[in-house]
Every structure is written in structure tokens, then in C-alpha cells.
Structure 1
């Protein structure tokens, strides 16, 4: 059963307007959509086709075999137990979850992909309480997608909007009890994905999966600047997702690259510039978003979307699989931790499109690492 759903608690994201419908999110669309980007069509149609092709690639990843998966060790002890569905979502209504944060009251804020997975549907920010009841906080425009989200210390929610409309694409903020507004524009031919706020609450960092770029955005609002563009962040022709998940952790910006299967650490200098890129691990096939065991630990929990797996990456770069499809994973896109609780968003890209949010319990002793590992 789906949890009860209540209406929007805040105004619509932008005034209603007619938007062209996107094609359904399905594997068979990828080739034709990619070809359409090279055809001599109108500019806005090219942008739309490119974006849908990038999103549609995830459906291909969700069913593609990966030879490198065998090199990742399975955990000998159960690191995560008691995994169950907290909230079932409706893929056909655009409720394919993309990203997640946990609030102080243990409620979740979840972004959905809207029209990027279900033609003509709206993306949303959902609040899911500990019982699984969900409420729409913000509803977006048909054809758009909400991707990365992060939370400020004052309770403000920041989120990315992927759109072909210049007036909507960018980083938005939702103050507690307030109205959403855009604080920075981003290119419509990019794909804003992971999002993080620095500890000072001054700068937001955005992973652009199409452009191989990390953008820096003032949290107070202003112009987005290319903080770092590098081949290590870029996609490739076979996997059109480059930089994907992004976290600010212990003085560095950490980024996953889906195309390369890497987890990268980029120190932030005293002047705020990017330092030398360090590859924490490679062979992390089909990696999507990730998070850390806690604020003091470099132990990473990473969603492997196309493999239907969650992996733990240790500080020395070794990896172990801790959850699989047998635990109900269905295209996991992001992970959040609070204490010994783990929360996983499952986008349900592959049939039967089992979109949902899962909850489980972490056994830290099974990780064989200290609190500051």
C-alpha cells in the first residue's frame, strides 16, 4: 500500500504554464533521443532531447551486466540489517526518488524526478515522516526534475532543478515555512545533480553530470561559477553521467563519477580554490550518490544504481557490498544516515518500477573500523 499523501504545504514551485511533455523514461528511448540531439531541430528541442537521453541512460545501466562487479567483495558479516520499505512511491506519477536528507526530527526530505521518468508529471520535494506518511512540500513544473538536495543549519532546504526553461534551471531554496525561490541559474544544457553546502553555510557546490564541472553558488544567492572542470569529472560516450553525487566533508569536496566508477576527494584551499584531485577508489561500478558514516569518519556508503547494490568504501579504498537486490534494492540513487539508521532512495528505473524509500539498521561493529576511520 502507498502511504497517505496530503496536499502541498507550500505554494507551487512556479506559476502554472503549458510545458511540452517528455517521453516516458525507458530503455528503448535512449538511442532515438541521443540521435535527435544531433538532428537539425529547434534549439529547445535539442536541449530537451539531450537531457532525456542522459536521464534515460540510467534505465540501461539498471539492466546492463558489469564484469567489474565481481571484483567487489561481499561483506562477511551483515553491516545493514532489518531493511524494509518505509514509503512506497508511484513511478508512473513521477515519484521516482532521486535524493534525500534527514531532518533533526528524523523526517526525510526527498526529491523526485517528475517528468524525467513519467511524461508530463511534476517533480516534487516530499516530506516523509518516521511512520512513512508523506506530504508534498514543493511541486515543480511538468517536464522538470528535482535532483540534489541539502539542508542548512537553519532548516533551509536547497535543491537543484533540471529544466529546459532558463527561468527555472538552477539552485533553489526553501526556507522553513517559506516560499521557494531560485538563488542561482544553471545552464539548461547541463545536468545539475549532487548538491552540498559548506560547513560555514556560505557556498553551495553542484555536480554537473553532463559538463564534468563542479559549480560554486553563494548560499545567499548570486551567479554560479565553475569551481572545477576536469576530465576526472567528465562523462563518456557509453555512460553519459560524469560527476554525480557530491558531499562537503572534512575540508574537501567529494564527488562520485558514474562513468568512471570513481570516488574523488578534492581539498578546498584556504582561498576556497580546488586542490589536487585524489582518487579514493575506482571500480565502483555504476556509482550514484553516497554519504559518510558520520562527520568524523571517511567510511563511505555508496549507492550503485545499475547493480542494485550499496557498497561500503573504506578509507584505504577497499570496497565491500553490504546490500543487494535481495534486500529489495531497485535502482538505488542516494543514501542518508542518522545514527544507526540508513535510508535509501530506490528510483525503480527498471521494471516493475518499484520506486520507494527504504530504511535499515547499521551494525557499526561489522565495519571493523573506529569512529574516526
Structure 2
């Protein structure tokens, strides 16, 4: 079914790169009648079981989760979007321990939003700040035991979203949902450069959110496109330039961020924000729905995997605004791709 999404022009003009635009889009998506892409079928197999709420968050207070990483101690770092209806609520980075207890580790500024997160092996956390303030918009880092600082500025008329660090720890890649661009940023600090701008990353006239989630995996930058419902694989050449874009699948309506079963596998778990679903994308591009609203999903924005654990951030855009982090158990044998690592 062809889906038409109308987003208030005034809202986008007011704050195209910021939180107001994100919330306006999400409200429309959550209330529209959706149908899954034809390639998607609800799975009859228990790929993910025992889905429970790990941490309930307060949507009204701005704790609407956006992105997630799993730390070596099995705690989580979660970014939040900040204020929705109440003025003064600020975005944050939260540390959630395995018991579900939440602690603020970075508090942002009023009017900003935090989006993608990446973790370095030394424990440094990188995160995107969406802001209309040119002194704050960009990629920031939080070193272990240190204070946050900005490593690169990004345009205030963009919308930095997914974020990933290459295995060497040298280059950060940022998906810009407004500009249809992947930025490259030196992890040590410096100027952001447009690594790739392409129609495959672009938003659509009726839905101005294109390139969304981003991961670096097995020598390639992988990007989801929210507007086009695609998952893309972009090889990184020996010179560091982007190779030819390969469309892994085009059957992911409302796809947000995603992650891999493990470092060796190209099996993907993808959050479908507008459908209240999580899908599995197989290496041949086939997709299957593995979690739905019946498991409590509420505007899922991102997923993370550690061993056989699947973590899901739920932004709670629609009533009753059930913002939370969920945890489930993956059965890798059902996926026929070996054990998770």
C-alpha cells in the first residue's frame, strides 16, 4: 500500500534540524494507518523471546530514548531527545545498569537533542548533538572520567542521526537525515567532511528524513533510509572513499536504527519506528517481522545486541507515551547463522 505522510510545513521551517521536526514527524507516523512491505511476513518462529521492560522512562520529562550502546560491563548508554511539550526539559545521556537503574552522565542544553552514540574501545563515548546553536551542533565525546567536549561542528540546518566509529578508532561516520549525506569526522577532532551525498540517502518531499541509522560493519558503512525504507551497504575503499552503494533491502517501511547479530554476521535487527516493529534482515535481503506492538513496542528507535540479548529503545511518541528500554532474548539457532558473540 502506498502511504502518504503529511508533515506541517510551519514546524519544519521553524526548526527543521531540531527536535520539533522529529516529534512532528513521529506523531504523524504513529497515528497513520500502516501496512508492512510485501516482503515482510510476521515470523511464526520465536526469534526473540521473553521481551520485558528493563527501564521505564519519563516521556513528559524529555526522557524519550533515541539511541543505545552496550558497555563492556553490560550497562547501557542511551541518548534522549529532550523536551517535547514542557519547556526547559533537556536531552541527556543516560547510563542504565543491568538492574534497570538510570543515571544521567551528560545533561544537554534546552532546545537541543541527542541522537546517535558510538563507543570506542578505551571507553570513550561519542554522541551527536542536534542544535540550532552553531557552538553546540556537531559530534561530541565523553572520555572515561572526563568532561564532554565537541570534536567537530556540523551544520545547524542538518539533522545528524546515526553515528559509528571505524574499527581503527580514527574516523566517525554520521548519517545526516536532512541533507542525504554521510559525514566523516576525525575522532581526534577536526573538520567534518561530506564523505558521501547521494539520492539513495536523500529524504522525500513528504517525509524529510532520509539517512537515519548508521553502522560500520565488515569493511563497509551501512545506512538505513527512513523515507525510502531501505538498508544500504557502502564499502569503504582502500583510500577511504565510498564504494558503490548496494541496496540490501527496500522492504523496511519506517526504518530507524539497526544493528547486527554479531561482528561476523550480516544478519540485521532493524527498528521500524512507524510500525512499532523490529524486523530481521537476512543477508539475501529477505525480511521478517520478529517483534510487534504485542510485545510492548512503542515507537522503537534503535536496537543493540550483546551475546543473546537484544535491547530496544522505545521513544513512546504515541499515546500513552510509553517511553522505555526493553530487553529480550535472541534464539540464534532459529536464524540458522550460528551463535551470537
Give the TM-score category using the shorter length: over 0.9
Looking at structure 2, the residues matched to 63 and 233 of structure 1 have their Cα atoms a distance apart, in angstroms, of 25
Structure 1 residue 238: Cα displacement:
1.7
1:30 correspondence with 2:19: no
Residue 127 to residue 335, structure 1, CA distance change in 2 (3 Å): same
Say whether 1:279 aligns with 2:247: yes
Superposition map of 1:2-81 within 5 A: 30-34=8-12, 37=13, 46=14, 48=15, 51=18, 52-69=20-37, 71-81=39-49
1:178 aligns with 2:156: no
Contact map agreement 2:17 2:156 (CA 8 A) in 1 = no
- Give the alignment's Cα RMSD to 1 decimal: 1.7
Q: 1-side partners of 2:143 and 2:153: how far apart? A: 18
Is the contact made by 2:56 and 2:324 (CA closer than 8 Å) also made in structure 1? yes
> Which of 129, 134, 147 is the equivalent residue of 1:166?
134
Aligned to 1:67, the other structure's residue is in SS state coil
Q: Secondary structure at the match of 1:228?
A: strand
Q: Could you tell me how far 1:58 is from its partner in structure 2?
A: 1.6
Q: Which residue of 2 aligns with 1:151?
A: 119
Q: 186, 191, 199: which one pairs with 1:218?
A: 186
Alpha-carbon offset, residue 234 of structure 1 = 0.4
Superposed CA offset, 1:41-88 (max 9, x none):
xxxxx4x25632344202211222233445411112110111000000
Residues in 1 aligned to 2:329 and 2:26: alpha-carbon distance in whole angstroms: 27
Aligned counterparts, 1:103-252, within 5 A: 103-115=71-83, 118-252=86-220
The structure-2 alpha-carbon separation of the partners of 1:218 and 1:369, relative to structure 1 and needing over 3 Å to count, comes to same
Separation in structure 2 between the aligned mates of residue 78 and residue 354 of structure 1, nearest angstrom: 24
Q: Which residue of 2 aligns with 1:41?
A: none
Which residues of 2 match residues 332-371 of structure 1 at below 5 A?
Answer: 332-370=300-338
Runs of 4+ in 1 over 4 A off after TM superposition: none
Find the partner of 2:276 among 293, 303, 308.
308
Give the one of 60, 68, 72 matched to 1:92.
Answer: 60
Deviations 1:282-333 (A, max 9, x none): 0210000000000000000000000000000000000000000000000000
> Structure 1 length normalisation: TM-score?
0.87
CA distance in structure 1 between the partners assigned to 2:129 and 2:298 by the alignment: 23
Distance 1:265 1:158, change over 3 A: same
Q: Secondary structure at the match of 2:98?
A: coil
Unaligned runs of 5+ residues in structure 2 are none
Q: Tell me if the contact between 1:91 and 1:117 (Cα under 8 Å) persists in the aligned partners.
A: no
TM-score by length of 2: 0.95
Matched position secondary structure for 2:266: coil
In structure 1, distance between residues paired with 2:285 and 2:39: 13
Tell me, in whole angstroms, the C-alpha distance in 1 between the residues paired with 2:200 and 2:43: 29
Could you tell me how far apart the structure 2 residues matched to 1:366 and 1:62 are?
Answer: 30
What is the CA–CA distance in structure 2 between the aligned matches of 1:29 and 1:76, rounded to whole Å?
A: 35
- The higher radius of gyration belongs to 1
Q: What is the distance in 2 between the residues matched to 1:234 and 1:29?
A: 17
Size of the aligned set, in residue pairs, is 335
Separation in 1, partners of 2:176, 2:261: 25
Which stretch of the first structure deviates more once superposed, 69-78 or 343-352?
69-78
